[in-house]
Every structure is written in C-alpha cells, then in structure tokens.
Amino acid sequence: MFDRLFSPHFAAQSAKPYVSLLFGARQTGKSTLIRSVYPEPALRIDLTNAEDRLRYGTSATGFVQTCRGLTPGEQPATVIVDEAQLSPGIFDAVQHLYDEDKTRWRFILCGSSARKLRRIGANLLPGRSFYHRLYPLVQAEIAPGLDAASPIPAPAWAEQATRPFPSMGLNDRLAYGALPGIVTAPVEDRAALLRSYAAIYLEEEVRREASTVNLPSFARFLQLAALESGQIVNHAALARRVGITGKTIQSYYALMEDMFVGFLLPAFSGSTRQGVLSTPRFYFFDLGVRHAAAGLPPEPTLVLANPGPLLEQWVGIELWKRIGYLGESKLSYFRTKTGVEVDFILEHQGKLTPIEVKWTDQPDVSDARHLRGFLDDHKQVATEGLMICRCPRPLQLAPNIRALPWWML
C-alpha cells in the first residue's frame, strides 16, 4: 500500500456530517483511496456492476429501502456508491435520507464523469456535501520532500508520504505518465495497459456518457487532439481534418473535460500588450494516456525523439494537478501574435510567477529572454521568473530569474 497525500484530508472531511462527493478520471485511485479509509463499509454499491445497477440504479426506492434496513449503531453506517453518475436519481435519494437523519449514515459518492449530471441538472446536494477531486500522482507522492522550492506551496492538509510510490526517472515519467496503476505495474506491462486504457475505457465512457456521439468521428478526434495536446486549440482546422463541424469539435472537447481526461489552459488575460492571443490550449490529464490515445508508443524511446514539448506538457500537468488540490491559484499561458511566449503564468495570492520550460541541462540567461520581458511588463505583480529544466541544482540566472531542476517543481 502506498500513500496518497489526499488520503488523510479525505478521511477527516468525510468523517464530518456531510455527504462526500469524490470525482476524477478512471484509474486515478478513487476506489483504492476509499477502501483505505473505509475498509469495511456497511454498504458498497458499484454501478458499473450490472447486478448493482439493476438493483439500485433503476429505482431510488430500492436504494432508500436498503439504507434504512442497515442496523443503526453508535457510528454512522458508511454507504459508498461507485460511479454514482450512472444513476443521477441516487443523488436525490441521498438528499432525502440525509435530510431525514444527518447522523445515521455517512454517504460517499464517487464518479468518473460529470457529463450526465450536468446535462440533466442533477442534484449535487448543495449545502450538504463536500466536493473532492482526485488526480493522477503528483511529484510529492513519487519523490516526497523534493518539491520544497516549488512555486506552489503544499496544501495545509498535505502530510509527508512515508510510503511513496516507486521512483521514476524523467524519461519514464514523460513516457508512462502518473496513473497509480501504471506507476506500480511492471515496466514491461505499462505500454499495453495504457493502450488498453485508451482503447477500451475511453470508448466505453464515451458510449455510456454520450450515446449520440459518432464513435468513429470521436475516435479520429481523440487521436488528433492527443497529438496536439499542449498546443493552442484550433477548432476549425481540427474540424476539417475530422470531417465534422467546429461546433461538434467544441462539444468533443467539453466531453473530454466532463470525463476528467483533459483540461483547457486559458490564455493570460492580464496583459496590457497589444496582440496577445486569447485562445486556450488543451492538455490531456496524463502523458501516458495521451501517447496511447495518439497512437504513439508510450515508451522512453518516444521521449528521446522530441523531449522538449513532452517536458513542457509534464510541467503543465503537474502544475494543474497541484493547483487543483490547493484550490487557491490560477494557471494560464502567455503568447503574442509576434511569437513572444511564456509557457505558464502562475497566479497565487495576488502575485504572478512566469514559468518557462527548457530541456537543457545548462540554462543561461539567453534562455530566459521571454521571462525577462514578462517581468518587465508586470513589475508590480511579478517579481520572479522560473525556468524548469534538467539542470542538476538550482541556478540564479539573473537577479529575478531562477532555474530549477524538474524534480524540484
């Protein structure tokens, strides 16, 4: 058993007299986390299981009757529902029971998609629930203590991992990503597992969550979106290549976000410069899944062919995950029509930190010219820029620019 930094926080929050909602992409470890906190729940329902779905997913009445039939005790009866989005009526039933008696049951609902819930305006129990999001592994879960110089502080609830996940070198991280099951799998099995994830899970989720989607066109979109992960979104160009409308492309990107397997990175909007781009970028939530979805071999040999863009994506995904846990920061990118670009702009507590990513292991001040320009334009709110690269130790490239090794992010 390995430590998830989120586990103690989830245990503390879910023990409070509220409903706990835990969402995240498949294979991020939601069920494992819940089992580690509640190894013997009074009732566990898995709505991906046909029998459970037939018994509880088609009628809220059966769920309510079963919960009421649980023997009352000194502690609340823990009721866990996996893939709760498959039966939106479960949320209404939970609200009914919760309002009836806030101390008799402890409800934990988890899911891997929010699409159906949003589409029908499902009851997400406002005022009665804590919403949590679980991500693939962050740096501190694989190499605890090495992120002390990170521009993003650890959340107040984070505890040091005493049982970290197996260590991985940079090339392996860029090749295989950070899903817990992939990181802990034998190296020879990782590529096949990732291809299976992309081919089976994504198609299964699309069919389940969006029955009107044309699967062949979505499959083609998925491959192209994966190949262009980390780049500026161009709906019109992608629509021409797939052979569908730009509006449909937009809906496919929204579907990816709803399934928690991708995110849009907005353009920085606080600049006074002329000609600043406003179109977002799209990133897959995990590099290993991205490679498999793109039809590329998720192996270290892929990294060696063109490592720079992959390191940039890895940094962006890592920042996105940690901001998701912290909940107090914003991430964007900056680019002008003339090609001036800063990979990431971190906004935290009213301050901006521009971040550039370079594959080099010997950075110098010439690599930081765009950082210097951004800092000059935003002196009141941006006092330091960072370059994430492969240098062996932190370096001071200029009075207000530091280079950090990737493992210290």
Structural domains of the chain sorted by starting position, each given as residue range(s) with its CATH number in brackets: 6-134 (3.40.50.300), 142-408 (no CATH)
CA distances from 259 to 36, 162, 242, 385 (A): 24, 31, 21, 34
* pLDDT surpasses 60 at 179: yes
pLDDT single digits (tens) 316-370: 999 999 999 988 899 999 999 988 999 999 999 899 999 999 999 999 999 999 9
Give the residue, 116 or 397, on which the prediction is more confident: 397
Identify the residue whose tokens are 């058993």. 1
What pLDDT does residue 184 have? 96
User: Given CA atoms 255, 258, 262, 268 in this order, what sign does their dihedral have?
Assistant: positive
What pLDDT does residue 74 have? 84
Average pLDDT over residues 23-34: 94
What pLDDT does residue 226 have? 95
| Beta-bridge partners for 372 | none
* pLDDT surpasses 90 at 101: yes
* pLDDT surpasses 70 at 122: no
User: Given CA atoms 135, 140, 143, 146 in this order, what sign does their dihedral have?
Assistant: positive
What pLDDT does residue 145 have? 62
For the chain, the average pLDDT equals 90
What pLDDT does residue 119 have? 65
* pLDDT surpasses 80 at 272: no
- What pTM value is reported for the model? 0.93
Question: Are the C-beta atoms of 387 and 357 separated by less than 8 Å?
Answer: yes
pLDDT single digits (tens) 141-173: 987 665 556 777 778 777 777 888 998 999 999
What pLDDT does residue 288 have? 97
Starting at the earlier edge strand, list the strands of the sheet with 77-82.
43-46, 77-82, 105-111, 19-23, 129-133
pLDDT single digits (tens) 194-224: 999 998 877 777 777 666 688 888 889 999 9
Residue 68 φ/ψ, nearest 5 degrees: -65, -25
- Residue 46's pLDDT band (boundaries 50, 70, 90)? very high
What pLDDT does residue 24 have? 94
**pLDDT more than 70, % of the chain:** 96
**pLDDT more than 90, % of the chain:** 70
State both tokens at 39.
Answer: 């190894």
- Residue 138's pLDDT band (boundaries 50, 70, 90)? very high
From 12, 31, 11, select the one nearest 23 (Cα to Cα): 31
Cβ burial of 250 (10 Å; 0-12, 13-18, 19+) is middle
What pLDDT does residue 271 have? 76
Distance CA 98, CA 96 (A): 6
Residue 157 φ/ψ, nearest 5 degrees: -85, -10
Least confident of 116-120, 188-192, 306-310: 116-120
Question: Are the C-beta atoms of 238 and 227 separated by less than 8 Å?
Answer: no
What pLDDT does residue 154 have? 75
- Listed ranges 211-225, 264-278, 279-293, 324-338; the one with the highest mean pLDDT: 279-293
Distance CA 83, CA 70 (A): 21
Average pLDDT over residues 379-404: 95
